[in-house]
Structure 1
């Protein structure tokens, strides 16, 4: 937002200088020549615009000097304005203002969104996935340069972001922390992630928080602080490398599914609400694979996952269905589960 403040300040300063000079001209003519307001206003206008209509006869020498100073002031201001506006046009700042206003409008209307703290490499991968799956989000980034590098690319021109320190409560409120569903902490400093998670949970106790950590020791601290899930990049990298050696074909299959099946294929977690018509019914009764092009791979209930669930499994409120299949059908399933009855 600092960039927008700079642009608005530049425009405001230019307009303010014009108004001040105009006001000085009106007051000066009213004092020197005892003219009424409208006459002084008119003479000031034609003087600053340098239209060349001429001045009234029999004006004093003091007025001539004052008018000359006013003319040069007007020319200077006009040149300054032209150079400022030209700079704004050349640098594309007007487009930035337009884009910024649109973004502020989007943020104003956003709800049930996810807040991503950090717009670095990790944050970028998160944003890519959110954009692909139409998940509402707001990025909080302290470094304007990182955001500038992102929005240089067409695919990131319409990202939602706030420049500021996420440790500041005011910044979290600007990101609508009380209306957010989740918080993703990607900062390299574990202490920062810990502090932000504590602050965020205080402002929104129901917030689902995911954080990265650099060591298992910090992982425990984050979990004690109320973080719901912690990711260890070194652990993930190590397991991935081991899988490349021990089970290369399995890894190759997992990584190629998106490419093989295309953009219409995906994985999803469908949470069953308490008022869903599915609650109390057996999985086999639903016949999901017949009506929808999806497969239920697992059901997560009370923190435990049951893989390849049996057809006689009874669906409970707050269960999560882990499904794989056509994205359009996955969205249909999302709508089905929230219905009170069918």
Structure 2
């Protein structure tokens, strides 16, 4: 993106320089020869365009020298402009530039999004999940090559990204951190994740921050820095390997659900607002499974989950429905839940 901005600046500079030379030519001819504006304009035009109509007779030596300088200046700037435009066509690729402009427009309008810090292996999986579930996001990555590798693949051509260091406030502001819902830190350095979490929480205290960590010793530091949830990849990998040998069929079932039901199938948590019509109702009265093709696995209340809730379980405000089903049905349930009491 920075390369394209540089080329655009070159083109803009060239055009402004040509305009400036044009006006210098007009003023110069008016002063040296006493011509009126329109004649000076005409002579300047044929001089810079090098059409070869010829200069008027009996002009002064000073005018001849001025005209020569004007010709060489104009040719130099035009050649510079042509080289910049060639770079846009050959190096920049107008199609890619069009994609960047569309992305900048998306970022300008984005809100309630998540900021993914790091476009590496972990960041790629986050992008895949957010794209599938249609969760808005912006990736911050300082290594342009990692982004370029993603853009080479068709499925990542519409990702929202910013090239820069997330430790810098300006980069976080470009990612619209004040409008963001959360930050996901995937950098391999715990120190970097710690610093970014402190900066992000300072700018927007309401952010929900999730970070990875390389060791259990760093977990406490990240939590002190304002991180809401910390994941240890070695711990996750170890538990997964243990399940593969202790409960292989259960793990296989969990992993196969999305493949069996399709890409639109997934899990979701839907919070019940205080003015929802569901508040005060028994769970059985909701008849969610009859209305929508969704399974309510649990109801979360005060941090505790009530699995397979009974029909007489009373719904309260701020309860969360833990559901599994098609994304379209999940969105319908979200709208269904927020309907106010009559």
TM-score (norm 1): 0.94
* CA-CA distance at 1:212 after TM superposition: 0.7
SS where residue 91 of structure 1 aligns?
helix
* Deviation sequence 1:62-91 (CA, Å, 0-9, x none): 322332332233333333322321221122
Q: In structure 2, the residue corresponding to 1:102 is in which secondary structure?
A: helix
Aligned to 1:287: 287
Computed over aligned residues only, the root mean square deviation of the Cα atoms, in angstroms, reads 1.8
> Hey, what's the Cα distance between the residues in 2 that align with 1:152 and 1:72?
43
Q: Quick one: distance in 1 between partners of 2:291 and 2:27?
A: 81
The residue that corresponds to 1:337 in the other structure is: 337
Residue equivalent to 2:237: 237
- Bigger shift: residues 87-96 or 284-293: 87-96
For 2:281 and 2:287, how far apart are their aligned partners in 1? 11
Work out the CA distance in 1 between the residues paired with 2:159 and 2:69. Answer: 49
Partner of 2:125: 125
Answer yes or no: is 1:325 the counterpart of 2:325. Answer: yes
SS of 1:273's partner is coil
CA contact (8 A) 1:185 1:212 kept: yes
Q: Paired residue for 2:61?
A: 61
Is the CA contact 1:137–1:160 (under 8 Å) kept in the aligned structure 2?
Answer: yes
Q: What is the 5 A alignment of 1:230-269?
A: 230-269=230-269
Deviations 1:246-293 (Å, cap 9, x if unpaired)?
Answer: 112111111111111123422211111222111221111111111111
Query: Are the aligned partners of 1:4 and 1:96 in contact in 2 as well (CA < 8 Å)?
Result: no
1:59: how far off?
0.9
Partner of 2:25: 25
Q: Could you list the per-position Cα deviations for residues 193-243 of structure 1 after superposition, in whole angstroms to 9, with x for gaps in the alignment?
A: 112112222222221111111111111111222211111111111111111
> Aligned residue for 1:111?
111
Per the normalisation by structure 2, the TM-score is 0.94
The Cα of 1:93 is off from its aligned counterpart by 4.0
Counterpart residue number, 2:176: 176
Unaligned runs of 5+ in 2: none
Find the counterpart in structure 2 of residue 4 from structure 1: 4
- Consecutive unaligned residues of structure 1, counting only runs of 5 or more, are none
